[in-house]
Structure 1
C-alpha cells in the first residue's frame, strides 16, 4: 500500500491527473486527488518607446514647426526676350496660402494667390513643386520685356505675414555703328566708285544670339549681293556681335540712312553720303571756280599785298605778322 501511494505521488508530480478513486483491499477510505502543478505566470513586456513615454518621469516633445522661407531676398537677371523665373521656397507650409505681388512705388498688384493667376498677361505663369519638407512657388515670365523689371514680393499668409522680396533686372542689348577705331559715328562720306564699309557692334546679348540685319531706309539688305554683302561674327565669352556691311562701286544713289538692327529690340543708324568725283575733289581741296583766271587773280593779290604794306608800322607788335602775310600773299599770287 505504501508503494502504491508513492507511485501516485510521482505521477501527480509528473503532471498526470487521476480522478478515479483507488481503494485498497480491506479499506473503505478513498485516496485524495493528486495536486495539480501550478501554472507559470507570463511576463509583462514593455517596449522602450512605451517605457519612455508612459513610465518615464520626464516627457520629451518636439517643438511645433512653423512655416519659414528659404531666403528673405532674391535677385534675378535676365536678357531681354528670355524667360524670367522668380522662386519662393517655403518650409513647413502646412495649410497657409502663398501669393506673388508686384510692387510699384508704395502700391502692390496681386499676381497669384495659391494656384490662381490674376494677371491679365498670359506671359505670367505659376509653377508649383514640392518635396517632403518644402514647397516651391515659381513665378515665370516668358519673353521678358523692359517694363517687367522691378520689385516683386512673395508672401505667406501667416500672422504676421512672411515676406520675401525679389528684384528682376532685364538686360537690354545695345547696337552701335562705329568707325575704324571703334568710336561712334553718325555720318560717313565716300567718293563715287569707292567701297562703302560700315561696322556695327551689338553687346549685352545672350548666346546663341538673335538675328542681325542691315537696312537702308525701310529696305532690308540681303547677305549676298553682286556688289557686296554682310558678315556677322560673335564672341560668346565677351557677349557681343560684330557685323560689317560692304557695298562696292558706290554711287550717289547709295547715299541714305543705314541702320543696324538686333532682332527688333534695338538699332543704330548712320547717314552715308556718296559724292560725285568732281564735287568730291572740290570739297576736299576747296578749289576756286574753274572760270577764275590767273590774270584777274594776280592783280587782286598784289593789290591786297600793297594795302598791307601801307599799314602803319608804329606798333612793332604787328611787324612780324604783317611781313609774314605779305610774303604769303606774294607767293600765292606768283603760283597763279
Structure 2
C-alpha cells in the first residue's frame, strides 16, 4: 500500500448526510475518506464511490474557482495533468454490486503542485444535486510515515476486574507539515475480530486523545472473564501493534491456607480462652477447684 493511500485510510471517514447521501430514487455516496495528502510532483487520485448511479452523470468541480474539471467522463479543463476514469466498484460491506450498482469515479492529477491544494467536489446530477467533498493537502517534504506502538507494561487481569490497553499512533518525519496532516484513526481487534463498544459483550470503552500528528487510544475492558484473554491489536490502516492479555481466575478466600493450619489456629485459640478463664478466677475458688481435681485423681 502506498503512503498516499495509507494517509487516505488514516482519517475519519467523511460521510455526506450521515452514512450516505441518498436521494428519493436511492442514489448514494458510499462511506469514504474525505482528506487526501500528496507530495509535490507525485500523482494523486481522488476516489468518489457511488451506489445505484444508474444513468445519472458525475462531474468533478474544483471549489476554489468553481472550475468544472470533468463531466460525464469527459475532461473540461486544458490542464493535461487531469484525467478521469470510471470503474465498477464492489462494496466492502457485503452489498450485492448488481443490486447496488456500485461505481467509482477516479479523478487523477499528475505531477501535483502546491496550487492544486484545496477542496474538490464530486457531483451527481440528481434533483436536488448530490455532492461529496474531498480536501487535498499538498506538501513539499517527503510524505510522513505512520508508526503505531503499545504503551505501558504487559497486560494482566483477574477475573471480574478490569484491564486497560493504551496505543499510540503518530506521524514520523512530518515536523514541517504536522498541522496539515489528517487526524489518525485507531481501531482495535481481538484475535482478528473487531472490538465494538456497542457490541453484545458490554463493558468495552474507548477513550481517544488527539494532538497534531499524534493520537493516543485507550481500550478498557470491565468485568473481565477468561473469554477476554487473547491478542489485542490496535491499527491505523495496515500499521499495527499488539499485546497479549492474560486473565487469572479469581481465588476463593483462604484458599491458600490448608486445613491443618486452620485446626492448629483453632486449638491455639481454645487454649488461650481456657488460660484466660483460669487467670480470671478468685484465689479461693481456684484453690477449691484444684482440691476437687486432686480428689478425683486420688480416688
Structure 1 length normalisation: TM-score? Answer: 0.34
**TM-score (normalizing by structure 2):** 0.38
